[in-house]
Amino acid sequence: MKVRLLDLAHARSGDKGDTANVGVIALRPEFYPILVRELTVERVAQHFDGMITGPVQRYELPNLKALNFLLHGALDGGGTLSLKTDAQGKVYSTALLRMVLDLPAAEVAAVHGGTARDA
Amino acid sequence: MKDVVRVAAGQGFWGDWLAAPRRQVEGGPVDYLMLDYLAEVTMSILQKQKERDPKMGYARDFIGAVDSVLDAVVHRGVRVIANAGGVNPHGCADALLALADQRGVRGKLQLGVVTGDDLLPRLDALIAAGHPLANMDTGAPLTDVRDRVLSANAYIGSEPIIEALGKGANIVITGRSTDTALTMAPLRYEFGWDAQDWNRLAAGIIAGHIIECGAQCSGGNCLHEWQSIPDLWNVGYPIVEARADGSFEVVKHPGTGGRISVPSVTEQLVYEMGDPHSYITPDVTADFTSIQLAASGPDRVRVSGIVGRPPTDKLKVSIAYRAGFKAVGTLVYAWPDAMAKARAADEVLRRRFEMLGMHFDAIVTEFVGATSTHGHLAGDGHEANEVQLRIGVRSPDKAMVEKFTRELAPLVLNGPPTVTGFAGGRPKVEEIVAYWPALIDKTVVTPVVEIRS
């Protein structure tokens, strides 16, 4: 069943040069393993296909129930060079939360507090 | 030794809320007021200002901030630590002393002025001595852009701030010290943490990271349940309540708006994060995967368990250089078919650039209101009621960028219909001052502390 990442996580993003970082944080501790399993480097790179020019790196923070993604080449050169509205990667956070995950019904039920609902 | 030391954040960047510093010293007990003014590109802006006027080159907001908290500093012993000095910490001190004269408190202010971070006068000697100052992202040596360098500053750590506090400074002004050192230094000074007490130093750094962006950890820009965050109009900026063992709580003054919760603090912890295992600073390398957070009361989060390791033998250097010119212009297209009209206008412009022999290093077109921030993830924008066409160009040739700025307005009469939003006139040509991150051996940078009163 389909569920939006927005229903499992919150996020904040920022910049370092031409790299945007997106920290994705599980809304409940039990969602963290789902994030670890679903948000692979490949899946995130595919999500941002055409929007970033470099590779994706992922780091795990089990203590914060969070994953940190580095999106290289995301900011048209970054900082003052960039011609983009979001030159500092401030809203890559919710761009990632647009992702739709395909999860087993039991997990979707947990996300929606008991009742399985297709996204 | 105090049981608890309170460090309050009053500015998260140059341009932050001017009311915040005063609210922090008047809203409840605080020992230190920490003001962070410097972002990556700020030093170059300050360097340009100093070129025009040798008395400038520091964050001028700071003078007003000190004025607004003068009573707390002079009569209640609140000490202020700020990296407001930019590329001219002594110029900043001169302005503060003039303020002290004006307010009749000369002699009550002891200014600790930290310098030594400015490498610009030494740049050629450093390169000649075998320091390539290679770009950390691209590996290119600094000689590639040497003739265009505007500023070069090493990020320095907590030691000189501690020295200034030890010499009795009640206001410490630094240039390019790390944002986090501004918070860690007073904790290390008060609790007497050893220079190799890695876990406690790392705790101080992480405390600094949490509050260095001001209200961004206390409800500002917080995505988590944002609609229920109370009274952002009255937002409370964060305060670290630290103990000698390195544990601390993040709080805000009673009666203020915003929210401090595990989610709000977590959002700030991941902000601008690289490799969480190695948050490298001049004093210590902090491990963000060791941080434990727990709600310990209303708007109160306890932070503990932090692990640190020795730092590297390098300092990061922030270099700014001239990198050509850019301009960005906009036009607004209205219903019906707003997106199609904006796309057609973009096509018209690009064909005209070609026809008129206008070439650029980069042309970026965005459709604000449809896809400008989330790209194709946001769909194709065909349902948008109105769309702002936003087009920017970049070139080393200033005349070419100027030519671009004259091409937008004609579209109002000779392009696709129902267009408006051009009242601002032609876009402005801006010189690009770009950021060049590099590393240098710690041994060649010697911070200097002077007390002025």
What is the least distance, in Å, from the CA of B68 to any CA of chain A? 31
Q: Does A104 touch chain B (CB under 8 A)?
A: no
Per-residue pLDDT of chain B (453 residues; tens, 9 = 90+): 899 999 999 999 999 999 999 999 999 999 999 999 998 778 888 988 998 999 999 999 999 999 999 999 999 999 999 999 999 999 999 999 999 999 999 999 999 999 999 999 999 999 999 999 999 999 999 999 999 999 999 999 999 999 999 999 999 999 999 999 999 999 999 999 999 999 999 999 999 999 999 999 999 999 999 999 999 999 999 999 999 999 999 999 999 999 999 999 999 999 999 999 999 999 999 999 999 999 999 999 999 999 999 999 999 999 999 999 999 999 999 999 999 999 999 999 999 999 999 999 999 999 999 999 999 999 999 999 999 999 999 999 999 999 999 999 999 999 999 999 887 889 999 999 999 999 999 999 999 999 999
Whether residue B267 is found in the same domain as residue B287: yes
Environment class of residue B350 by beta-carbon count within 10 Å: exposed (0-12), middle (13-18) or buried (19+)?
middle
Q: CB within 8 A of B192, min separation 6: which ones?
A: B1
Q: CB within 8 A of B111, min separation 6: which ones?
A: B93, B96, B97, B169, B171, B172, B173, B451, B452, B453
Contact B291 A23 (CB under 8 A): no
Q: Does A74 touch chain B (CB under 8 A)?
A: no
Range of the domain at A97: 2-78+85-111
A117 in any annotated domain: no
Whether residue B223 is found in the same domain as residue B290: yes
B139 in any annotated domain: no
Whether residue B190 is found in the same domain as residue B248: yes
Q: In terms of DSSP H, where are the helices of chain A?
A: 32-38, 41-47, 92-97, 105-111
Range of the domain at B228: 4-117+155-312
Structural domains in chain B (count):
2
For residue B356, the domain's CATH number is 3.30.70
A118 in any annotated domain: no
Contact A61 B288 (CB under 8 A): yes
Contact between B111 and B212 under an 8 Å Cβ cutoff? The reply is no
Structure tokens that stand for B262 in this block: 């595990």
**One-letter identity of residue B271:** Y
Start-to-end C-alpha separation, chain A: 8
Whether residue B87 is found in the same domain as residue B58: yes
C-alpha B37/C-alpha B42 separation (Å) is: 8
B444 in any annotated domain: no
A119 in any annotated domain: no
Whether residue B160 is found in the same domain as residue B286: yes
| Chain A nearest-CA residue for B327 | A83
**One-letter identity of residue B223:** L
B346 in any annotated domain: yes
Helix, strand, coil in percent for chain B, rounding step 5: 35, 25, 40
For residue A19, the domain's CATH number is 3.30.70
Q: What is the DSSP letter of B427?
A: P
Q: What DSSP string describes B176-239?
A: SB-TTHHHHHHHHHHHT--TT-HHHHHHHHHHHHHHTTGGGGTTTT--TTGGG---GGGBPPPE
Residue ranges of E strands in A18-71:
19-26, 56-61, 66-71
A49 in any annotated domain: yes
A44 in any annotated domain: yes
Interface-testing mutation among A35, A51, A63, with chain B (most B C-beta atoms within 10 A): A63
Structure tokens that stand for A109 in this block: 């039920």
Interface of B with A in 394-453 (CB under 8 A): 394, 432-435, 437
